[in-house]
Amino acid sequence: MPSWFSSKFPSRYVSKKLFHKRLPVAFGLSPLPESPNGPLVSEPERALLEMLSEVGLQQSVEEARHIMEGARSLRQEVLRKLLRECVRVKVVRLCTQWAQELDLPWSSDARKALSHSHGAGQGRWTARMKDGTTLILKP
């Protein structure tokens, strides 16, 4: 990003492979309604998974869980496809585990997508967070 932009708008650029290459590049992205010709931004389902990928890095566990608690009206078919094409174990498991714990309406759908996900992995997933706590996600 240009330095003038970063100095005026505190920001950072992150580039991670979150989804399998089969997922169409613009899936879960759309322009803002007030700027139909503007840049593409993440739709709620994709934004949720992007946020979960930052848990323990730039996103606190507590804040992410509070944000996810309000994610009751996600489009299940969109989230299902994104979860199935997600290649990050942490993201898929965190989304599924918290959805069940928070009793979100789409939690059973997330659980089904987990078994078909590229990021499902085997066994327990464990990571030490920046704050020294440990995050353990069951399969």
User: Does residue 74 sit within a domain?
Assistant: yes
Q: What is the mean pLDDT of residues 87-110?
A: 90
Neighbouring residues of 132: CB distance < 8 A, sequence distance ≥ 6: none
Residue 104 has pLDDT above 80, yes or no: yes
User: Does residue 26 sit within a domain?
Assistant: no
Domain residues for the domain of 120 are 40-137
User: Does residue 15 sit within a domain?
Assistant: no
Q: What is the mean pLDDT of residues 80-99?
A: 91
- Tell me which of 24-38, 46-60, 95-109, 119-133 is least confident: 119-133
E-strand spans in the chain? 29-31, 40-42, 125-128, 134-137
User: Does residue 34 sit within a domain?
Assistant: no
Number of domains the chain is built from: 1
Q: For residue 16, what pLDDT is reported?
A: 81
User: Does residue 6 sit within a domain?
Assistant: no
